[in-house]
Structure 1
């Protein structure tokens, strides 16, 4: 089994880190630069920074905040939100990001995945997908911060994104998001089974057991969480020590 990664996520709106449930009811929880430094010191494996209203508000990601965060941490750093073109990708990498996360823009213009992968390497391109279960089974992909159902089937989109050059999938279950009832194992397994690139599980983590479960079920290479860490219910090191005790390889 490969070393598993623990990744705190900073959802940023108006320069502040926020958190909600099922993508709504957002509350302010702190300063992104301060939290990023804290998670770096807790030995997070990576950090994800998502400017969650950039696409909806049709503006660019906050470059200055990204630069400030990048100065504070020395771990892989993924930035997403409002990244629409190859030029935007370049801008974020120059600001200090190691990878960029593409979501709505990739649906609108899938070529941005292949162009980005060609210019900067697949390892820089993370395809972020927000998905929700359909009543008749399967999942649909949503965009614009979960506001709009594209009608696109999740598994078809994963296959296409990977074939275009995405080096990683950041998969968020909108049904599980913020509920703390556990990762959406069924959805993660379905994606992991058809995907040869790493999958990051996102949405629903509420306990040490949920981290353990997602890795023991072997349906993700990394687990992302926000509320648990922001509200100091657990530290990254608490999670890693628990996983190590359970025989799951982590970087300590």
Structure 2
């Protein structure tokens, strides 16, 4: 049985790392390149960088910081943030990233994932959805960093992403993101059971027990982690860290 992948999900704003809570307020974490150096030392297997305001602000991709990150990084990298075209993906892969993460622009251009997957292979594309409960408890998808509600049903959309050629699906609970309360088990379970592609759970992880819970109660193939690897503990200062290998093996 393969070991569950635990992937630090690091949020970019311009050339800084930040950490948000429920996609709203955010704190400065540090320099992304220095952070990569620490994760190199901690022997992390994989890193994901998301420029979370790029689509919302319709900003161009900051290829300079991506190049700086890739030049320093020893492990596989994925990037998401206002990737609009196959040409954008080509530049990202040329820099040294292995995967692209597509969210908002999949709604804007339904052919985008298909074009990238056809050129680079399905293993190169991670489809991403951000989900939030409405006032009445219904689940809705949002794009542009939680600002634009999408009215298509979640299960219908993830099927479309799968048919378009994604190799993985990143599911983020907006309500849990940055909360330290654990993953949304019901959300992850309902979506992961409806698709054939590997699923990455994201949003809410605060400790190794949360990772164990999502692994044992769903069929996720990977867990994205944010707060627990950039802070000492909830309410405490910044400290880049990562679970020891023995604890991950036990998952």
* Same topology, TM > 0.5: yes
Is 2:46 aligned against 1:46? yes
Tell me the CA shift for residue 37 of structure 1: 2.0
Instruction: Kindly tell me the number of residue pairs found equivalent between the two proteins.
Output: 245
Q: CA deviation at 1:65?
A: 0.8
C-alpha contact (below 8 Å) 2:13/2:52 kept by paired residues = yes
Per-residue deviation, residues 127-168 of structure 1 (Å, max 9, x unmatched): 111111245555211011111111222211111100110110
Q: CA deviation at 1:91?
A: 1.1
Structure-1 separation of matches of 2:208 and 2:95: 34
Q: Which residue of structure 2 aligns with residue 122 of structure 1?
A: 122
8 A contact 2:126–2:166 mirrored in 1? yes
In structure 2, the gaps of 5 or more residues are: 234-239
* 1:8 is aligned to 2:14: no
The answer on 1:55 being equivalent to 2:26 is: no
Match in the other structure for 1:241: 246
Q: Which residue is equivalent to 1:111?
A: 111
Q: Is the CA contact (8 Å cut-off) linking 1:6 and 1:236 kept in structure 2?
A: no
2:172 corresponding residue in structure 1: 172
What is the match of residue 149 of structure 2? Answer: 149
Gaps of 5+ in 1: none
Q: Distance in 2 between matches of 1:137 and 1:23?
A: 18
Aligned to 2:208: 208
Deviations 1:92-141 (A, max 9, x none): 11111100000100011110011110011000111111111245555211
TM-score normalized by the length of structure 1: 0.92
Assess if the C-alpha contact under 8 Å between 1:43 and 1:237 holds in 2.
Answer: no
Provide the rounded CA distance (Å) in 2 between the counterparts of 1:237 and 1:117.
32
After superposition, what is the alpha-carbon deviation per residue over 1:31-74, rounded to whole angstroms, capped at 9, x for unaligned? 11111221232122210011111111212221111111111122
Task: Specify the SS of the correspondent of 2:191.
Answer: helix
